Amino acid sequence: MLKLLVAKNCTSVFVYVSAHGEVDTHGIINALHDEGIAVLVPRIISKDQMVAIAFPGWKNMSPGPLGILSPSNARPWTSAIDAAVIPGLGFSMRGERIGHGAGYYDRWLSNNNVWKIAVCFDYQMCERLPTTATDVLMDVVVTQSGSTAIGGQQPDGGDS
């Protein structure tokens, strides 16, 4: 996935902090940080709002409202964000995504114009998923066996 983000010349990337059996993102967060790319992570600030916060380092993270590591104290990122790495329970080849049901990522994505990359295990891929008008489609899905292009186009950077 790092190759995809570097090929797209991303200078800032919003990345979920993995928990509860999700694809581990700790390594990608560290790699992006080491590349000099601004890494942003989510912080839930209310029952229906999530913001992007500059990654403060692992020792400055603590469990947030859902038990997921989050920056303790920080201001929301106000500059442009190039890409977002998004979690979910299931994804389709069309870019459809089923999340955990709270809508945090769909709301955040609808307010931020970013390149949307879903990451998942192969078993999470489905042919089709039910969606609603508020569901945001992914631009690319990256599985453990490689990148899956959405819309029939190979993403820049080849495989993950």
Cβ(88)–Cβ(120) below 8 Å = yes
Count of other CB atoms within 10 angstroms of residue 44: 16
**What beta strand segments (E) does the chain contain?**
12-15, 38-46, 49-54, 61-63, 69-71, 83-86, 90-92, 97-98, 115-120, 125-126, 140-143, 146-149
| pTM, 2 dp | 0.89
- Please write down the HEC assignment for all residues of 50-76: EEEEECCCHHHEEECCCCCEEECCCCE
Write out pLDDT tens, residues 61-80. Answer: 999 888 899 998 779 999 99
> Which sequence spans correspond to the domains of the chain?
2-149
Both tokens of 97, joined, read 């995504």
What's residue 159's pLDDT?
A: 43
Q: What angle do CA 116, 67, 26 make, to 5 degrees?
A: 50
Q: CATH number of 2-149: 3.40.50.10420, 3.40.50.1100, 3.30.980.10, 3.40.50.300?
A: 3.40.50.10420
pLDDT band at 152 (very low <50, low <70, confident <90, very high): very low
**What is the per-residue pLDDT for 157?**
47
- Give per-residue pLDDT as tens, 133-150: 888 999 999 998 887 767
